[in-house]
Amino acid sequence: MFFSSSVLRLILLLCLFSFSTASSSDSTSAEQTLRPQEEIQKLKLIREELKKINKPAVKTVQSSDGDTIDCVSTHQQPAFDHPLLKGQRPVDPPEIPKGFSKEEESYEEDSQLWSLSGESCPEGTIPIRRTTEQDMLRASSAGRFGRKLRRARRDSTSNGHEHAVGYVTGRQYYGAKASINVWSPRVTSQYEFSLSQIWVIAGSFTHDLNTIEAGWQISPELYGDTFPRFFTYWTSDAYRTTGCYNLLCSGFVQTNRRIAIGAAISPRSSYRGRQFDISLLIWKDPKHGHWWLQFGSGALVGYWPSFLFTHLKQHGSMVQFGGEIVNNRPGGSHTSTQMGSGHFAGEGFGKASYFRNLQIVDWDNTLIPASNLKMLADHPNCYDIRGGTNRVWGNYFYYGGPGKNPRCP
């Protein structure tokens, strides 16, 4: 049997990965025996998945952070592999919610590393971060690549997910908006992450949870580095079988040719230095019912078709803003993975990370302040949150923390 050099090279990588993660005890030595046929089958599955994810490129851009950005024809993006979207093209732009002001926004759409050199994709195409074999090898399985682990509500003691969030509930929500401070928190393990995002939620937290999510995240497992990256997510069944990050499955329909979902954000904030934030707006188009995403002062990124959801076909029942990390308890103690800036909320501006100008979209497609905001930090000695209101920032909060410390062993 003959294999190409690239195939043999990847088999070697797979073997090395298997060896490095195997137990060294004699009792499991038999299980460590490498099975070339199984590795070849795994490689075959990975390449089949890559064919689904990576589409033919009209143009390719090499980013300074190592990413390859493919400019893909809009109608060939992964979303249009969905049976209900095959043969279609993106819908017309929606009506912007009343009360939206471009003057409040400070971060424009040229805030991604790949486009800082002036590169962009041609008309009729969208930029997609290319997924590599190495990306998929880092995942727990090819089938779960690009998906969050299933988990319960915000109480994360059993599964390692920890939060510091502000949230509103008790009415019908048709969208949300916030400006999110961007940092580069330390993530200490490949299988942990740190993110800051908006959630629009409906359904129960057990089996039929619907979510729409967008923000920035650091995820070494997903991206292979520690850059903060713009991301999206969705699920319609509590993270079980539906949904994915970014454009890694059929779902989100991208319409913007300048913003790459999953690409690194630049610049980032610095402690006692300059502060940068990204403004995100998610809202339900009153005409067609799809959920749209806007970045910055008016750049439409794309939309989640309404048919992806059950409960969110109508409206959301909760909106959350804030941070989340994964704590794998290395060595039996709390992780040192940071949330936000890595500093507690009490340190304030220039030191702690913030969300500002928190708003929701009501039934009349109008942006209104997110009043009656409740705060929750499920491990406040590790990561905390403090809110407030003022004339410039409206409803806001500081949040985050260092993780492991004397009060968080």
Name the pairing type of β-strands 316-326 and 353-361. Answer: unpaired
Amino acid symbol at 69: I
pLDDT at site 159 = 79
Q: Which residues pair with 161 in a beta bridge?
A: 326
- Residue 192's Cβ-side half-sphere holds a number of Cα atoms within 13 Å equal to 23
Split at pLDDT 50, 70, 90, the class of 162 is very high
Residue 152 has pLDDT above 50, yes or no: no
The mean pLDDT of 227-242, rounded to a whole number, is 96
Cβ 232 vs Cβ 293: under 8 Å: yes
pLDDT (tens digit per residue) in 107-140 = 555 589 999 888 899 999 999 999 999 999 998 7
| H or E segment and range at residue 279 | strand 277-284
**Beta-bridge partners for 166:** 321, 375
41 Cβ contact list (under 8 Å, min separation 6) = none
At residue 4, the pLDDT reads 44
Mean model confidence pLDDT for the chain: 89
Residue whose entry in the numeric block shows the structure tokens 């004339």: 391
| Residue 287, both tokens | 């005409």
Strands 384-390 and 229-235: unpaired
**Model pTM?**
0.89
pLDDT of residue 386: 98
Cβ–Cβ < 8 Å for 125, 72: yes
Residue 66 has pLDDT above 50, yes or no: yes
Where do the domains of the chain lie, and which CATH numbers do they carry?
Answer: 160-401 (2.60.120.1270)
- In sequence order, what DSSP letters do the residues of 317-379 get, joined into one string? EEEEEEEEEE---GGGS-----BTTSS-GGG-TTTSEEEEEEEEE-TTSBEEE--S-EEEESS
Q: What is the mean pLDDT of residues 23-45?
A: 62
Distance in angstroms (rounded) separating the CA atoms of residues 184 and 295: 20
Q: What integer pLDDT is reported at residue 36 of this predicted model? A: 83
Sheet of strand 125-129: strand arrangement: 57-62, 68-73, 125-129
pLDDT score recorded for residue 104: 59
- Give the span between the Cα atoms of 154 and 386, in whole angstroms: 18
Could you list the active site residues?
213, 324
pLDDT band at 75 (very low <50, low <70, confident <90, very high): very high
Q: Please determine, for residue 323, whether its predicted confidence score (pLDDT) is greater than 50.
A: yes
**Distance between terminal CA atoms of the chain?**
54
299-304 and 253-254: which strand pairing? antiparallel
H or E segment and range at residue 17: helix 5-21
Percent helix, strand, coil in the chain, to 5, is 20, 35, 45
Residue 21 pLDDT > 50 = no
Percent of the chain with pLDDT over 70: 88
